[in-house]
Structure 1
Amino acid sequence: MHPLAGLHVLNTRPAGQAAALTAALREAGAIVSELPLIGIEPREPAAPEERLLLDLDHYAGVIFVSANAARRGLDVVAGCWPQWPYRLPVYAVGKGTAAVLEDAGLTVILPERADSDGLLALPALGAVSGQRFLVFRGEGGRELLRNTLQARGATVDVLELYRRVLPAAAAAQWQAMTVSPQVVILTSPDAQQHWRQVAGADALRPLWLVVSPRMHAEAVAAGARVVEAAGADTGSLLVALQQMREQLAI
């Protein structure tokens, strides 16, 4: 059975990170095109930031806000620590982020709701006065986690380990496409912004599949038809696509 048979889906995950989702979509019967809308540029920690890594075992917990933050974070930690500090709690914002960390052998604390609000609702992050946390993220990330934990009395350090950029070839790749997608998958606010930039007047033609309430609100404000998945992981996206197809008959 192919629940997505004939549905034309545009996968906008970064190059090198799109294959698993594309394969799952095609197995479900979808026609898939790929248009990477996010390029990941590594950012090396400066000397003061390296000292944060050396103090890793002094933290009450570390928080990874994306799969890319997890990949980069594991790389830089490995340069300072031969193994992960014993009993250091690890938090992930969603299933995709958790999967990267679990593949490295870490035990991960995961919220039911896959966003910063979900993390902040965890009991372990409620009473944090006097505790110290380290957040791994990309450059220019949201300040909600840091600001809220600080308001609760915690000390919060941040390591920004990569930059999100629009790939130079994205506009030409979009213009070269001969078939318009029915659904575009957007798994980050930057991808959503870049989609509007690249597609221009055509951006509102397909239905947008997004992964957070914040993205949903921005999509509605832009005038898009939008469906929100429970998370950015492949399973959540497939479930949302199947439910969307049943409800909208596309």
Structure 2
Amino acid sequence: MKQGLPLIVTRADPGGAATVERAKALGLDARHLPLFAARPLDWAVPADGFDALLLTSAQAVRLAGPGLANLAGLPVYTVGPATAAAAEAAGLAVVMTGPGDGQSLLDAMASQDIDHILWLCGRDRSAFDARNAQLTSLPVYAVDPVDPPPGWSEAIAEPAVLLAHSARGAARIAELVGSARAHLSLVAISAAAAAGAGEGWGQIAIAAQSDDAAMLAAAHNLCQKGE
């Protein structure tokens, strides 16, 4: 049975479908209207030796392809449990999982005197301070904007709650929604994502942690309040 306001999930698959599944398990009226699509990039392992592998997104594992097997000997540091689970399923040895903040994980790695880190990442990525380590960024996937799917215009015309899983995603949502947004609420994964969404929303909530569970907890609250 429908409960509260609709929840619009805009992130690319497979993460988007997983978010919708979790939201429906919480009793939310979740609708998957992705505004991005992920695709693999061609890449090769650099010749330099590395001390550790950094993974900040499960997409890097899912889209890296067969070349990932060449890195199976490295200790792996991951951001978030979903990335850790994807890495372990791919046969990688996860030695540490951070709570959802790439910079905090790099700080922890710096305290272990790790000198040379290989980061499998997306083409569009955040900037991190590797402290005294050498961080080599290697894009293995891209997440590109796509046209809004059927049902988008109707979904945002009525009160609803939207999820923004990144600052880039928040900016795209804001662009497509336009200035008529006072009837819509937004849950942002971080303060940076909230800033990317701009002003004029009915409500903006920032997740207590940078993960799906915290975002859905905030969304559940907004969906019920706005009913």
TM over 0.5: yes
Between the two proteins, the alignment pairs up a number of residues equal to: 224
Provide the C-alpha distance between the structure 1 equivalents of 2:206 and 2:65, rounded to a whole number of angstroms.
29
Matches within 5 A, 1:7-22: 7-22=5-20
Matches within 5 A, 1:222-237: 222-224=199-201, 225-229=203-207, 230-233=209-212, 235-237=213-215
The answer to which structure has the higher helix fraction is 1
Structure 1 residues 31 and 65 mapped into 2: Cα distance closer, same or farther (>3 Å)? Answer: same
Instruction: Report the Cα offset of residue 32 of structure 1.
Output: 2.0
Given that 1:96 and 1:232 are in contact with CA atoms closer than 8 Å, whether structure 2 keeps it comes out as no
What letter matches 1:40 in structure 2? A
Structure 1 residues 75 and 223 mapped into 2: Cα distance closer, same or farther (>3 Å)? Answer: farther
- SS of the residue 1:25 aligns to: helix
Structure 1 residues 164 and 232 mapped into 2: Cα distance closer, same or farther (>3 Å)? Answer: same
Structure 1 residues 28 and 172 mapped into 2: Cα distance closer, same or farther (>3 Å)? Answer: closer
Aligned position for 2:123? 139
The answer to which structure has the higher strand fraction is 2
Matches within 5 A, 1:80-159: 81=70, 84-85=72-73, 88-108=74-94, 109-112=96-99, 114-122=100-108, 124-126=109-111, 128=113, 131-144=115-128, 148-149=129-130, 152-159=131-138
Provide the C-alpha distance between the structure 1 equivalents of 2:159 and 2:92, rounded to a whole number of angstroms.
38
Instruction: Report the Cα offset of residue 244 of structure 1.
Output: 4.5
Aligned-residue identity in percent:
24
Instruction: Report the Cα offset of residue 172 of structure 1.
Output: 5.4
Given that 1:115 and 1:212 are in contact with CA atoms closer than 8 Å, whether structure 2 keeps it comes out as no
- SS of the residue 2:39 aligns to: strand
Residues 1:160 and 2:139 are matched in the alignment: yes
The Cα RMSD (Å) is 2.8
Residues 1:190 and 2:175 are matched in the alignment: no
Provide the C-alpha distance between the structure 1 equivalents of 2:5 and 2:41, rounded to a whole number of angstroms.
38
Aligned position for 1:26? 24
Provide the C-alpha distance between the structure 2 equivalents of 1:16 and 1:116, rounded to a whole number of angstroms.
21
Instruction: Report the Cα offset of residue 180 of structure 1.
Output: 2.5
Instruction: Report the Cα offset of residue 51 of structure 1.
Output: 4.2
Instruction: Report the Cα offset of residue 138 of structure 1.
Output: 0.9
Structure 1 spans left out of the alignment, 5+ residues: none
